[in-house]
Structure 1
Amino acid sequence: MPGAAAAARSILTQLHEVMAARTHAQAKLNRIVDIIGEALDSEVCSIYLLREGMLELYATRGLNQSAVHVTRLGVGEGLTGTIAANIETLNLDEATTHPEFQYRPETGEEKFHSFAGVPIVRRARAIGVLTVQHVESRKYEEVEIEALQTVAMVLAELIHNAGLVDEEDLGERSEAQSGQQVLDGLKLVKGLALGKAVFHQPRIHIEQTVAEDIEAERQRVYLAFDKMREQIDTMAGQAEFGVDGEHEQVLETYKMFAYDEGWSRRINEAIDSGLTAEAAIERVQQRTRQRMREISDPLLADRMHDLEDLANRLIRIVSGQLGTAATTGLHGDSILIAKNLGPAELLEYDKRRLKAVVLEEGSLTAHVVIVARAMGVPVIGRVRNVRGLVREGDTLLVDGDAAKVTVRPGQGVLDAFEARLVQKRQRQAEYAKLRDVEPFTRDGERIEVMMNAGLRDDVAMLSLTGADGIGLYRTEFQFLVSAALPQRDRQTRLYRDVLDAAGDKKVIFRTVDIGGDKSLPYLSSEKSREDENPAMGWRALRLALEREGLMKVQARALLEGAAGRELNVMFPMVSEPWEFDAAKEVFEGQLAFLKKRKHKLPSAIRYGVMLEVPSLAETLDLLLPKISFISIGTNDLTQFLFAADRANPSLAERYDWLSPAILRFLQRVVRNCAGSGVELGVCGEMGGRRMEALALIGLGIRRLSITPASIGQIKELVRQVDTKDIGEAMKGWMAQPPQDMRAALSAWAEERGIEVE
């Protein structure tokens, strides 16, 4: 027998003529089974097609012709059904020894011993099965099996074009491709969402499988390999590549596959058999997928997933289809599925239709998570093999609170989830009525309820929520979504636009907080690369003071952007007063520079700090005379107080914000600031939770800066509270902490009819 490529090419050449002939589909399939049988010297060749959920014998050479369109097998039934269900190849020297063997007397197959079959696959689904049988008891050779697999690819195109199968009615295909499934992941951004699955990088559907010019196809693959290798070689500098500490390991695996001569040789051999470049790559991947099912070693299975990822990249390059789903736009409520995602890529999507993101990788510190949280888009990460288990267009339920994705939910589950969404929307509608209501407590205290922002479009939420202003504008978002350091004029435009949109409402700009979990490839340094614990390393103000040019540019951009208006600027992660002095000196230097050149200046400049590092609380007496306001950053403060990295899933929610340690610390800060004239607030997730917000008000906090989604519910809470009442209760609890602070607060609120959950 000639080699696999030659055997397949011989068959494909004849198939090409058959497909071009002006005969009906049945006649074509009848001719095809003869061609395959003759080429492989096989006494039987049969084609089964999936119709109305059953595998129907559609054409045969060697079996009884009276069985055509009569013999039908369920998916998973018999040898043929097993091939379709598992999308796997079978090669048996004695068919009757297989546990799934079933004898169909109408076919007259009792005299045939050897059996081989391959699935006919389209869009990752089995739409039929191609089988061969022989009287002699023998296994088919590897070259024969490979020829069958190649022919099956071309058959898939013919079958689809002829409309011979209902590709949506796949019956009981396999557990991985049908029925309800619940997938677990890592909670990255909370929230609920319902929508249709959309792949960030849409699958390339190969329509032309038979090559017109083999050498032209080979050249296309060579050029695609060159481009792919170039892309892989530049990945090392991309901050979003890799997961947590695995960057180097994953990159090396990608390089290994990208430069693997064996992989490129197998693709070349598939082209030799007469396939187009796209079909050849897919042909090799089908073989790889079948082998993956036999791998029990999880590490090897992961590496095979890496190869799958590279193959998809290669097909996109060779086909010229390099765009993402954002390019074509979303149609209806959508759940985005991706291996990983960058923040700039996320921002390309229509926020009205993007309801959630599900990632195969992803971590709590990924840039995309930071941006998604600001956008209010739920995100679940580390959902293993989600791109293999979910089909484009599947209905998905995303529960970001529980880190679960329900795929193809049953009607009962869907109804219950929709009821939760309706309840959530009703609550939001009630909160929306409070947009123009000022948040006064029952005893007349005015609580400032401000919002956090970081994107230009976020400012529109000021009027939609009725927030008092922006208590934290994260200027680093502009840096995170840029491929290079944003120029001064671009920064200036952003700050001016934000102030214009905010009108007479206050905006507090936090100077750039990068480094640590927000590393940027164009701003990396030896100090940041050496960080074993980035959250407590070379980041935020520490990095900005070292990179004086970076801070000077931002200072001047803020001063020019705020020309004629009040500028509120806040420095992050200040550990000691001298750091504040050094940062203010940079701003004052730029102010003098602009004044000397007669530039229009801000009408007033108010300086403040983020209190995130506990050491700063010990020197407040030295700092208070120099500043106008303090914002307590509860997210970082909590991890520093408890020595618990919030990026570690095991520790992320272990330490309660209502712990006496946190509350007593905050109480001390409130007392130290009393009478100083310095405004004190809290910005962070703690202030956006009703029970925690109640505790903060009881401690004397009168400004909260929270996510826009939390504004309404906190306003509603404020109007139910008497500050003197909760203040007395908190005073007692701080002196003598209850065993369960959360239970004590809940009981106190319930007695007064205050909802805190």
Structure 2
Amino acid sequence: MTSAAVAAARTILNRLHEVMASRSHAQAKLNTVVEVIGEGLDSEVCSIYLLREGMLELFATRGLAQEAVHVTRMAIGEGLVGTIADNIETLNLAEAAAHPDFMYRPETGEDKFHSFAGVPIVRKERCVGVLGVQHVEPRRYEEVEIEALQTVAMVLSELIANAELVDEDDYATTGAHTGPELLRGLTLVKGLASGCAVYHQPRITIEHVVAEDTEAERQRVFHAFDKMREQIDRMAAQAEFGVGGEHEEILETYKMFAYDEGWARRINEAIDSGLTAEAAIERVQQRTRMRMRQIDDPLLADRMHDLEDLSNRLLRIVSGQLGSAASKGLRNDTILIARNLGPAELLEYDKRRLKGVILEEGSLTAHVVIVARAMGVPVLGRIRGLRGQVREGDILLLDGDQGTCTVRPSQALTEAFEARFAKSRERQAAYAALRDVEPVTKDGQRITLMMNAGLRDDMPNLALTGADGIGLFRTEFQFLVSATLPARERQTRLYREVLETAGDKPVVFRTVDIGGDKVLPYLRHDDGEGEENPAMGWRAIRVALEREGLLKAQARALLEASAGRTLNVMFPMVSEPWEFDAAKAVFEGQVAFLKARKKQLPEAIRYGAMLEVPALAEQLDVLAPRLSFLSIGTNDLTQFLFAADRSNPKLAERYDWLSPSILRFIRRIVRSLEGHAVDLTVCGEMGGRQLEALALLGVGIRRLSITPAAIGPIKELVRKIDLGGIQAAMDGWLDAPPPNLRAALEDWTCRHGITCD
């Protein structure tokens, strides 16, 4: 903002402050306001239009016919004034009549005026009116005049709200986005959900616009910038932001804006014009938003979104409103919206109200997605610019199956969605009815169906689903949702509670699978460097063997929690037999330690490994005699077999789980373990899909560990099939693969009267 703009706005604001403080009624104040602005900007016409009953009504004017006041009305999107309100953007025209949206209103007597400039009057991100100026002489308005108008419009929004000149209901439904919109994103967790939009970091409502003490406001902004920069620097020191790629780029942009003197200068200039610290930040940000709408370069637009995010952070600091929406509590069924979330932040929300999550970023392997999947909360990711499309309180229909979200749905769309939802609930009720029914095939073979878990809150699902036990308890969840390394006592307490809840049913504890894509801020690389391929890097058993203290503490916690019971412990990402032996030796060392202190030990310890790295399959003959069980982790195994990052959306649909490559590989593992007393289980999403589960049963898998939501559908499938028939069919297809194995399987299910989701 130039010094001339500051001076012009300052003069007008000083006079407006007096007007607002007077005891005049609202109409008289507005009549005075247009005179003050007109004189301050040496404008022949100054008019204020306000939103009333869904229409923009001429409320006060200097220069137009007074008879038109409260008579001239325009719809949102109608004429120049309606266009400004619809798009929430500024217009600056040398010849108003040349604009395609120009509409002549004869009752105003405006035919002699050529130039026109208008700015939206914004309240709570909604346009509540328009402030316009006109001249006889055709000319574009100076930047100084436009900036002064924009500043004055902020003050008017406060005056209008305090005088209750617009109805809440009117401006709650106006703005650039009013009708239904369909947003497309990346499905991170499947499922259907509906609810009100709630932002994880709510936008601050600015109540006071005009400053009482300019110097005090400058100091508030100075301290807020200091605090924000400290936060950004602290983020930079965390391991989560030190692994290269997207996070690092985002952080560098954050730092660039946080330390940008130009941004700070523009905010201070807005304060000099007479605004409070909050209003000044918002004033500068409004201008940025208007520019964002004109940006075609997606990279530059992304950087502007980063600045928006930082502006919101600065506003929260300066206003003292630092809490997330979780601290205020959810009042209705909610779809939570965030740029990104941590798992601990997600767990702060009331699970009864939280129905779904939408992330501007997010990936399939993000911590929050892993936890959301365990909670049964559908998640949609990779939707940019949500703040410009979704308003707080908007009704959303989230379709995690199709990767879409409908914003502000019509009645017809809502009814269609509810019908789908009702069918889904009917299916769930039918599955729930199978809780106490055993998964036995038509030819009498019992299949073991276990469930995956990782949180204390997952455990009630064991009784609800009738699962045979916990085939995979992801112990890293406790580490992911904790701000510090969980103490051994905390670990022991969790494991004991899990075992007590499970009762006689077995629980397989997988030792911590951290590192790689599951980075903990309190556990860093020794060299501090990031990894180019974290999924294949320093993670899981590799971390545990290098940080032996971590594995020792967990081993002791598991042994103490399992006293008098059977302990099933599984080591993740074993690539070679020696890694299994080394991890087992750590546990046996803790057994000796506890025995020497006469502590009660587990009745039995069963050691297993997770086969995710294809190399281990080549040495199963060596390792099998030492194993009690082996679990195939299909999520990682698939990406390693195909050399395809499963978090990359471009590759998400490229490689099918029903590829002969994967199924032949799994069949080879089944056959290599014949004659060994090793329980073989498939863990992962592949086993939770009906068609894929059918294929796994066909290659000889008899134990599945899947999400709780998948237990019912897979149990239903098992009871419909003849195991001998599908095994014979799969052997034929894998020996001589058809062009499309998925299509062949679908045809087989149709011929045998089996319906698969």
TM-score (norm 2): 0.96
1:54-112 CA distances to partner (integer Å, 9 max, x unpaired)? 21110111211111011112222222222222222223334334333333222122333
In 1, the alpha carbon distance for the partners of 2:571 and 2:541 equals 7
Contact 1:94 1:115 in 2 (8 A): yes
- Once the two structures are superposed, the pairs formed by residues 540-579 of structure 1 within 5 Å of their partners are 540-579=540-579
Contact 1:228 1:317 in 2 (8 A): yes
SS at match of 1:587: helix
Cα separation, partners in 2 of 1:240 and 1:539, compared to 1, 3 Å: closer
Report what 2:386 is aligned to: 386
Contact 2:396 2:406 in 1 (8 A): yes
SS at match of 1:3: helix
1:150-204 CA distances to partner (integer Å, 9 max, x unpaired)? 1111111111222222343359956x41111111112211212111111111111
Report what 1:70 is aligned to: 71
- Once the two structures are superposed, the pairs formed by residues 128-207 of structure 1 within 5 Å of their partners are 128-169=129-170, 176-207=176-207
Report what 1:118 is aligned to: 119
Report what 2:613 is aligned to: 613
Taking only the aligned residue pairs, the percentage that are identical comes to 74
SS at match of 1:50: strand
In 1, the alpha carbon distance for the partners of 2:683 and 2:584 equals 21
1:554-611 CA distances to partner (integer Å, 9 max, x unpaired)? 1111111212211100001111111110010000011111111122211111101111
SS at match of 2:591: helix
Cα separation, partners in 2 of 1:624 and 1:164, compared to 1, 3 Å: same
1:468-506 CA distances to partner (integer Å, 9 max, x unpaired)? 110000011111112222221111111111112211111
Q: Deviation of residue 4 (structure 1)?
A: 2.2
Q: Deviation of residue 528 (structure 1)?
A: 8.5
Q: Deviation of residue 244 (structure 1)?
A: 7.4
Report what 1:10 is aligned to: 11
1:529-578 CA distances to partner (integer Å, 9 max, x unpaired)? 45322222221111211111111111111111212211100001111111
In 2, the alpha carbon distance for the partners of 1:274 and 1:527 equals 51
| 517-526 vs 45-54, greater mean Cα deviation | 517-526
In 1, the alpha carbon distance for the partners of 2:654 and 2:242 equals 26
In 2, the alpha carbon distance for the partners of 1:184 and 1:399 equals 10
In 2, the alpha carbon distance for the partners of 1:664 and 1:83 equals 62
In 2, the alpha carbon distance for the partners of 1:702 and 1:139 equals 77
Cα separation, partners in 2 of 1:301 and 1:737, compared to 1, 3 Å: closer
Report what 2:296 is aligned to: 296
Contact 1:629 1:679 in 2 (8 A): yes
SS at match of 2:7: helix
In 2, the alpha carbon distance for the partners of 1:584 and 1:218 equals 62
SS at match of 1:201: coil
| 577-586 vs 234-243, greater mean Cα deviation | 234-243
In 1, the alpha carbon distance for the partners of 2:734 and 2:115 equals 81
Q: Deviation of residue 663 (structure 1)?
A: 1.7
Report what 1:55 is aligned to: 56
Q: What is the CA RMSD across the aligned residues, in angstroms?
A: 2.0
Q: Deviation of residue 241 (structure 1)?
A: 5.2
In 2, the alpha carbon distance for the partners of 1:626 and 1:12 equals 81
- Once the two structures are superposed, the pairs formed by residues 81-120 of structure 1 within 5 Å of their partners are 81-120=82-121
Cα separation, partners in 2 of 1:137 and 1:649, compared to 1, 3 Å: closer
Q: Deviation of residue 240 (structure 1)?
A: 5.3
Letter in 2 for 1:281: I
Contact 1:114 1:135 in 2 (8 A): yes
Contact 1:189 1:380 in 2 (8 A): yes
Contact 1:243 1:361 in 2 (8 A): no
Contact 2:340 2:360 in 1 (8 A): yes
Cα separation, partners in 2 of 1:383 and 1:241, compared to 1, 3 Å: farther
In 2, the alpha carbon distance for the partners of 1:241 and 1:409 equals 37
In 1, the alpha carbon distance for the partners of 2:172 and 2:160 equals 18
1:699-732 CA distances to partner (integer Å, 9 max, x unpaired)? 2222110000001111111222222333333333
In 1, the alpha carbon distance for the partners of 2:188 and 2:358 equals 10
- Once the two structures are superposed, the pairs formed by residues 350-389 of structure 1 within 5 Å of their partners are 350-389=350-389
Alignment partner of 1:513 is 2:510: no
**Gaps spanning 5+ residues in structure 2: where?**
none
Report what 1:127 is aligned to: 128
Letter in 1 for 2:182: V
SS at match of 1:729: helix
Report what 1:728 is aligned to: 728
In 2, the alpha carbon distance for the partners of 1:479 and 1:171 equals 42
SS at match of 2:104: coil
Q: Deviation of residue 399 (structure 1)?
A: 1.5
In 2, the alpha carbon distance for the partners of 1:285 and 1:438 equals 61
| 247-256 vs 719-728, greater mean Cα deviation | 719-728
Alignment partner of 1:217 is 2:217: yes
Report what 1:650 is aligned to: 650
Letter in 1 for 2:685: E
SS at match of 2:245: helix
In 2, the alpha carbon distance for the partners of 1:215 and 1:486 equals 47
In 2, the alpha carbon distance for the partners of 1:296 and 1:530 equals 33
In 2, the alpha carbon distance for the partners of 1:40 and 1:540 equals 67
In 1, the alpha carbon distance for the partners of 2:97 and 2:422 equals 56
SS at match of 2:60: strand
In 1, the alpha carbon distance for the partners of 2:298 and 2:257 equals 18
Cα separation, partners in 2 of 1:598 and 1:171, compared to 1, 3 Å: closer
SS at match of 1:275: coil
Alignment partner of 1:317 is 2:317: yes
Aligned residues between the structures: 756
| 490-499 vs 520-529, greater mean Cα deviation | 520-529
| 725-734 vs 535-544, greater mean Cα deviation | 725-734
| 304-313 vs 522-531, greater mean Cα deviation | 522-531
Cα separation, partners in 2 of 1:513 and 1:171, compared to 1, 3 Å: closer
In 1, the alpha carbon distance for the partners of 2:727 and 2:128 equals 69
Letter in 1 for 2:494: L
Cα separation, partners in 2 of 1:302 and 1:243, compared to 1, 3 Å: farther
In 1, the alpha carbon distance for the partners of 2:167 and 2:416 equals 31
Letter in 2 for 1:185: G
Cα separation, partners in 2 of 1:661 and 1:120, compared to 1, 3 Å: same
1:409-452 CA distances to partner (integer Å, 9 max, x unpaired)? 22222221111110000000001011112222223222111100
Contact 1:25 1:162 in 2 (8 A): yes
SS at match of 1:178: coil
Q: Deviation of residue 626 (structure 1)?
A: 0.9
Report what 1:285 is aligned to: 285
| 302-311 vs 395-404, greater mean Cα deviation | 395-404
Q: Deviation of residue 22 (structure 1)?
A: 2.5
Report what 2:27 is aligned to: 26
Report what 1:269 is aligned to: 269
Cα separation, partners in 2 of 1:748 and 1:379, compared to 1, 3 Å: same
Contact 1:338 1:387 in 2 (8 A): no
Q: Deviation of residue 261 (structure 1)?
A: 1.2
Report what 1:479 is aligned to: 479
Cα separation, partners in 2 of 1:652 and 1:112, compared to 1, 3 Å: closer
In 2, the alpha carbon distance for the partners of 1:549 and 1:346 equals 29
1:371-409 CA distances to partner (integer Å, 9 max, x unpaired)? 111112111111011121101111111121221111112
**Gaps spanning 5+ residues in structure 1: where?**
none
Report what 1:427 is aligned to: 427
Runs of 4+ in 1 over 6 A off after TM superposition: none
1:219-242 CA distances to partner (integer Å, 9 max, x unpaired)? 111111111010011112345559
SS at match of 2:215: helix
In 2, the alpha carbon distance for the partners of 1:470 and 1:150 equals 61
In 1, the alpha carbon distance for the partners of 2:664 and 2:93 equals 73
Letter in 1 for 2:724: K
